[in-house]
Amino acid sequence: MTFDVARIRKDFPILERTVRDGQPLIYLDSANTSQKPRQVLDALDDFYERHNANIHRATHQLGEEATAAYEGARVTAAEFIGAAEPAEVIFTKNVSEGINLVAYSMGNASAMGLGGRFALGPGDEIVITEMEHHSNIVPWQLLCQRTGATLRWFGVTPEGRLDTSNIDDLITERTKLVALAHQSNVLGTINPVRAIADRAHAAGALVLVDAAQSVPHMPVDVASLGADFLGFTGHKMCGPTGIGVLWGRRELLEEMPPFLGGGEMIEDVRMERSTFAPPPHKFEAGTMPIAEAATLAAAIGYLGEVGLPALREYEHGLVGHALEALREIDGLRILGPAEPVDRGAAISFTVDGVHPHDMSQVLDERGIAVRAGHHCAWPLHRAMGVQASTRASFYLYNTHEEADALAEGIREAQRFFGAGGR
Amino acid sequence: MRLESLYQEIILDHYRHPHHAGLREPFDAEVRHVNPVCGDEVTLRVTLKDSDAGPVVADVSYDALGCSISQASASVLADLLIGRTVGEGMKVNDEFLALMQSQGEGEPDEDVLGDAVAFAGVSKYPARIKCALLAWMAWKDATAQAMGR
C-alpha cells in the first residue's frame, strides 16, 4: 500500500480546525505530542462506553473484558517492539516514569544491601550523554547522589552527533548502566545504539534506551538494538497521554526490587513485610491507566496499518525537503545533522537576530505550531553554544507545503524583527 | 495585525537599543533569575541610597539573555525605577504585575507605568507573561535583599 498523506490527514479531526483567526492549523510540534486519529479517539470512547471496569480484581463480565483489553494491549505492545514475551512490558505513565522506575529500583537495591548488578555505591558509574532529555539526566543525577556513584557522559560534536571518541575511557568495568536516547528530541540525531550497547555489554554494564522519539517514527526491535531496557510513550505515537511502556529483559525484571508499592503489585502482605508479584505486575502498583493502555493498542494498530517502513520513508523525504528549504534562509543555523542521514523528523534551529520565543510567536500568528526554548535539553543547548532554539517536528500527517509555509514564516519573522534575511 | 499589538514599536525600540544595560559597580545586591520554560535569564543588580523620603533606587544594572519581550522589559524597568524611592518602585511593580495578570482586559495608567503600558498586549499570551515579568521579579528580589542589609 502506498503512503497517501491526503488520506491520512482525513483521519485526524484536529487538522480540520482553524487557529488564530481562521487560519488552517499547521502542526509542527509532534515531537512534543502528536495528534490523534479518529480510530484512536473511537477506541477510547468504546472502552469507556462499553467495557469500563477495573482489571484483575473485578469478578464480572465487564471486569473480564477490561482485563482482556488491558492485557491484550500488553501483548500488542510486546509484539510491536519485538519483546520475547508480554511479561517484559510494564505499563508506565510515560518514559520519565519508566526511567525513574529503573533508577529507583537500583536505588532500592543499593539501600537494601541486595548486592548484585543493580546495587550501586562509590566507585560505580552511570554513563549518559549530553544530548539527553532532562528525563534521562535528572533521575541518574539523583540516583548518584543517593548512592555515591559517579555520573559520566558522552559529549556531542559540533555537527550534533554523539562524540564516541572517548568511549574506551567512558565505558569501563566500573560502568553499571549506560542510558541514552535512540533519537535526540532536539537534534533529530539517531544514535548508534547497537555499537554502544555492544561495548557496554562487553564491560558488563546494562543499557537503557530512551526511545520516546524513535518508536513513533520507525520500526524498533529491542533485540537488534541490544537494549536491556527501553522506554516509549503513547502520546507521541498517535496514542493518549498517561500511558507509556518500559520494556525490560525478563531476568532483569525478576531480579529488580519494586519501585512503587501498593495494590496489585504484591504476592502476600503481612504487617511486618510483603512479598511481590512476578513481573510485570511487580511494577504496576495501584489502578493503572486501563483505558489509555487499551487505546495505546489502537494507536499501535493504526501505525501498523499505515506501515512504519512506509511512514519512515515518507518522513525521510519530507525532512529532506524541509532541511533544504531551511538551509536557503540567510542567518539560519540548523542544530544537528543538516542532511537527512541518520536523523529523524525533529529540526531545531536558530535565526540570527530573532529569539526563538519571538520566532514561535510570529509562526503562531500564521497558524504554525512549533516549540521554542530548550526543549527539556538544557545541557545540550549549552553544548551547542545556544541559549534556546526553535523546533519544528514533523509526523505522518505533515506535508511538503507545510514545510514551505514554515520557511516563509521564518522569513516573515526576519522581516518583522529587521533581522536582515531575504 | 495582532503581531503589531503584541510587539509595539516601544518594545522593539527597547529591544534593539536597551537602556541602562550592562552590569555596574558598586551594587548592594545581585540576583540571577531564569525562566525554566525557555531558558531566558537575567542577572540584575540594585544599588540603593538614603534620602529624606526613604531609600531610593540609585541604579539598576542588568545583563539579560532572552527574547524581545524579556529584554525590552528589563530596559523599561530600569528607565522607570532608577531615581524612584523603593516604596514608589514597589507600587509600579505591583501595577505592572496586575497588568500582566489582566488577560488583555487591563487599562494601564500611563502616569504610573510610562513605556511599560506597551506590554498590555503581552497579557493576552499566557506563554509570554513570564518573559515580561522576569526582570521585575528579579528587581523585587534584589531590592528586598538590598533592604535587608
ipTM of the complex: 0.90
Residues 6 or more apart in contact with residue A19 via CB below 8 angstroms: A25, A364, A367, A369
Nearest to A355 among B3, B16, B67 (CB): B67
- Residue A107 and residue A20 share a domain: no
- What is d(CA A131, CA A155) in angstroms, rounded to the nearest whole number? 8
Residue B59 has pLDDT above 60, yes or no: yes
A212: closest CA among A31, A37, A40? A31
- Residue A242 and residue A179 share a domain: yes
Which CATH number does the domain housing residue A129 bear? Answer: 3.40.640.10
Please give the biggest Cα pair distance in chain A: 73
CA distances from B13 to A149, B64, B74 (A): 51, 16, 13
pLDDT (0 to 100) of residue B1: 55
Which residue segment(s) compose the domain that A331 sits in? 5-30+308-416
CA distances from B37 to A182, A305, B131 (A): 24, 37, 10
A99, A143, A376, A419: the active-site residue: A376
- What is d(CA A255, CA B81) in angstroms, rounded to the nearest whole number? 62
Nearest to A355 among B12, B37, B66 (CB): B66
The three grid cell numbers given for residue B42, joined into one nine-digit string: 537575567
Which residues partner with B30 through β-bridges?
Answer: B45
- What is d(CA A326, CA A321) in angstroms, rounded to the nearest whole number? 9
Q: How do A389-393 and A346-351 pair as beta strands?
A: antiparallel
Domain final residue pick, A253, A275, A304: A304
Whether residues A387 and B12 touch (CB distance < 8 A) is answered with no
- What is d(CA A172, CA A204) in angstroms, rounded to the nearest whole number? 8
Confidence of residue A422 (pLDDT cuts 50, 70, 90): very low
Indicate the helix (H) or strand (E) that contains A380. Answer: helix A378-383
The answer to the question of residue A320 being in a domain is: yes
User: How many CB atoms lie under 10 A from the CB of residue A309?
Assistant: 11
Domain final residue pick, A304, A339, A374: A304
Whether residues A378 and B39 touch (CB distance < 8 A) is answered with yes
Whether residues B131 and A20 touch (CB distance < 8 A) is answered with no
The answer to the question of residue A299 being in a domain is: yes
Report DSSP letters for B39-92, one per residue: --EEEEEEEEE--TTS-EEEEEEEEEES-HHHHHHHHHHHHHHTTSBHHHHHHH
Number of structural domains found in chain A? 2
Residue A10 has pLDDT above 90, yes or no: yes
pLDDT (0 to 100) of residue A58: 77
**A169-207 confidence digits (pLDDT tens):** 999 999 999 999 999 999 999 999 999 999 999 999 999
Query: Chain B residue closest to A20 (CA)?
Result: B2
**A128-167 confidence digits (pLDDT tens):** 999 999 999 999 999 999 999 999 999 999 999 999 999 9
Whether residues B2 and A388 touch (CB distance < 8 A) is answered with no
Domain final residue pick, A289, A304, A319: A304
pLDDT (0 to 100) of residue A1: 59
Query: Would you say B80 and B117 are in contact if contact means Cβ atoms under 8 Å apart?
Result: no
pLDDT (0 to 100) of residue A420: 56
pLDDT (0 to 100) of residue A337: 95
The three grid cell numbers given for residue B116, joined into one nine-digit string: 511599560
- Active-site residue A376, yes or no? yes
Nearest to A358 among B1, B2, B68 (CB): B68
The answer to the question of residue A37 being in a domain is: no
